């Protein structure tokens, strides 16, 4: 399994549960990928306002199997700034069009289940299970290249050139990255991979004095005078994640392309900008902002260029021609991924391996929709 985000952790969990021996290779130092939990100032916060919501009974059942009763329901209050925001034309819109989130008006977001210690907990538990079943989770271990023998993926090569053979490989790397990790790809495939642009996120966390500085769970920002696109107030998520700390963590998100000079700013510049912008909203007094930390999240957003589908089609054709490989994950077969989609794709990939289920993971997600719906409530799953 390449990657231990939502998709990778779910696939590895299901494979281990079916009795397979699983190796998970994760490039970063922790599990959870984009949905990881971040420990800051004694509290557990997410990469932006991550909320998990799925109607799919398979996904919800698996989620509850892993989380057990260790979750709380959050009834989000989603605000906009300014309160009567114009629908378009923010500074963010100028940088990346069509990236998620795109809606700035007061949104009716249904209540959702949140693990007490953050979403990263779900994926950590999945990986712990893999290890308990005799598998291995290799952190700080990026896969440098897939090893391909006669159109079959037979293993992975690491940065130190060590090769590990496997019967099946599941990749949750963005296909743009995966294309660059295949040996001897035709020029058209390499060009398609290079043509898939991914946007970046910078999340600036600010520590503010006092509790519940404002009542919103998050606020979509559509103010052309501000660069931030969204402000999250982690005081209004689950109390357990605060771990008894008295202060509030507020996060401001910024989106940009890798070529934009904004991506090359120093941490202090991001923090100074976020301080000023939070104060400019009038939500928090600048004197109440005690500290700040910037987190760069590269390759975190698909960019909806007109060429996207064309490039993905070229990659799909090539990757479908390789046996022994399942491709899941962010910006892959599912372009606009969410945790729930990631988990489902992981489950389906595992079924392809264990039961030879033949799910076409490149198909439109609607193909995989479950006929029944469900939702997680405080007392369990309701069908």
Ligand X SMILES: Cc1cc2nc3c(=O)[nH]c(=O)nc-3n(C[C@H](O)[C@H](O)[C@H](O)COP(=O)(O)OP(=O)(O)OC[C@H]3O[C@@H](n4cnc5c(N)ncnc54)[C@H](O)[C@@H]3O)c2cc1C
Residue of 201, 233, 236, 352 that binds ligand X (CB under 6 A): 201
Identify which of residues 201 and 228 has a Cβ nearer to ligand X in the complex.
201
Identify which of residues 123 and 214 has a Cβ nearer to ligand X in the complex.
123
CA pair distance 72, 249, nearest whole angstrom: 19
Smallest distance from ligand X to CB 285, Å: 26
Residue of 43, 90, 172, 208 that binds ligand X (CB under 6 A): 172
Is 47 among the residues that bind ligand X (CB under 6 A)? Answer: yes
**Per-residue contact flags (x/-) with ligand X for residues 281 to 300, judged by CB under 6 A:** ----------------x--x
Smallest distance from ligand X to CB 378, Å: 20
Burial level of 115, CB count in 10 A (0-12/13-18/19+)? Answer: buried
Task: State whether residue 146 is helix, strand or coil.
Answer: strand
Is 37 among the residues that bind ligand X (CB under 6 A)? Answer: no
Cβ–Cβ < 8 Å for 255, 95? yes
Interacting residues of 167 by C-beta distance below 8 A, sequence separation 6+: 324
Smallest distance from ligand X to CB 3, Å: 2
Q: Which stretch binds ligand X (CB under 6 A): 15-23, 242-250, 282-290, 331-339?
A: 331-339
Smallest distance from ligand X to CB 8, Å: 5
Residue of 38, 45, 49, 265 that binds ligand X (CB under 6 A): 49
Identify which of residues 38 and 283 has a Cβ nearer to ligand X in the complex.
38
CA pair distance 232, 217, nearest whole angstrom: 6
Contacts to ligand X from residues 80-119, by CB under 6 A = none
What stretches of 41-131 adopt beta strand conformation (E)?
Answer: 43-46, 71-74, 78-81, 112-115
Identify which of residues 27 and 55 has a Cβ nearer to ligand X in the complex.
27
Is 4 among the residues that bind ligand X (CB under 6 A)? Answer: yes
**Per-residue contact flags (x/-) with ligand X for residues 359 to 378, judged by CB under 6 A:** --------------------
Q: Which stretch binds ligand X (CB under 6 A): 44-52, 79-87, 237-245, 279-287?
A: 44-52
Identify which of residues 253 and 288 has a Cβ nearer to ligand X in the complex.
253
Identify which of residues 290 and 363 has a Cβ nearer to ligand X in the complex.
363
CA pair distance 80, 220, nearest whole angstrom: 5
Q: From residue 340, how far is each of 57, 144, 231, 319 by CA, in Å?
A: 11, 28, 23, 24
Is 333 among the residues that bind ligand X (CB under 6 A)? Answer: no
Cβ–Cβ < 8 Å for 95, 34? no
CA pair distance 84, 69, nearest whole angstrom: 39
Residue 194 parent element (H or E): helix 187-195
Smallest distance from ligand X to CB 26, Å: 5
CA pair distance 109, 169, nearest whole angstrom: 36
Is 338 among the residues that bind ligand X (CB under 6 A)? Answer: yes
Interacting residues of 277 by C-beta distance below 8 A, sequence separation 6+: 226, 227, 228, 252
Smallest distance from ligand X to CB 36, Å: 7
CA pair distance 324, 169, nearest whole angstrom: 6
Smallest distance from ligand X to CB 33, Å: 2
Is 270 among the residues that bind ligand X (CB under 6 A)? Answer: no
Is 60 among the residues that bind ligand X (CB under 6 A)? Answer: no
Q: Return the exposure string of 312-334: e unless at least 16 CB atoms fall within 10 Å of the residue's CB, then b.
A: bebbbebbeeeebbbbbbbbbbb
Residue of 14, 48, 154, 202 that binds ligand X (CB under 6 A): 48
Closest to 50 in 3D by CA, of 108, 113, 141: 113
Q: How many CB atoms lie within 10 A of CB 2?
A: 27
Q: Which stretch binds ligand X (CB under 6 A): 86-94, 208-216, 337-345, 347-355?
A: 337-345
CA pair distance 377, 7, nearest whole angstrom: 23
> Which residues here bind ligand X, judged by CB under 6 A?
2-8, 25-28, 33-35, 47-52, 142-143, 172-173, 177, 201, 253, 297, 300, 329-330, 337-340, 342
């Amino acid at each position: 399994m390449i990657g231990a985000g939502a998709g990778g952790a779910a696939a590895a969990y299901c494979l281990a549960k079916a009795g397979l021996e699983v190796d998970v290779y994760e490039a970063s130092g922790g599990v959870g990928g984009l949905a990881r939990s971040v420990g800051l100032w004694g509290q557990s916060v997410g990469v932006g306002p991550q909320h998990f919501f799925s109607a799919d009974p398979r996904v919800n059942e698996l989620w509850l199997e892993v989380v057990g009763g260790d979750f709380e329901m959050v009834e989000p209050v989603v605000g906009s700034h300014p309160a009567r925001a114009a629908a378009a034309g923010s500074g963010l819109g100028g940088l990346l069009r069509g990236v998620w989130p795109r809606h700035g008006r007061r949104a009716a977001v249904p209540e959702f289940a949140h693990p007490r210690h953050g979403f990263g907990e779900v994926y950590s538990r999945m990986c712990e299970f893999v290890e308990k079943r005799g598998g291995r989770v290799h952190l700080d271990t990026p896969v440098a290249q897939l090893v391909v023998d006669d159109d079959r993926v037979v293993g992975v090569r690491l940065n130190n050139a060590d090769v590990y053979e496997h019967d099946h490989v599941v990749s949750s790397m963005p296909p743009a990255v995966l294309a660059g990790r295949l040996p001897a790809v035709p020029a058209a495939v390499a060009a398609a991979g290079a043509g898939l642009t991914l946007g970046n996120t910078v999340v600036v966390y600010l520590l503010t004095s006092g509790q519940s500085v404002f009542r919103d769970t998050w606020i979509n920002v559509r103010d052309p005078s501000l660069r931030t696109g969204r402000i999250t107030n982690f005081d209004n998520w689950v109390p357990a994640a605060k771990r008894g700390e008295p202060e509030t963590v507020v996060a401001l998100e910024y989106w940009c392309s890798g070529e934009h000079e904004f991506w090359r700013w120093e941490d202090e510049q991001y923090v100074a900008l976020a301080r000023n912008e939070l104060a400019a909203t009038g939500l928090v007094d600048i004197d109440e902002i005690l500290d700040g930390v910037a987190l760069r999240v590269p390759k975190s957003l698909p960019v909806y260029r007109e060429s996207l589908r064309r490039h993905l089609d070229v990659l799909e054709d090539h990757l479908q021609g390789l046996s022994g490989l399942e491709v899941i994950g962010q910006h892959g077969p599912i372009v606009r991924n969410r945790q729930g989609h990631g988990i489902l794709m992981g489950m389906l990939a595992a079924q392809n391996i264990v039961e030879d289920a033949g799910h076409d993971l490149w198909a439109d997600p609607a193909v995989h929709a479950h006929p029944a719906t469900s939702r997680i409530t405080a007392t369990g799953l309701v069908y």
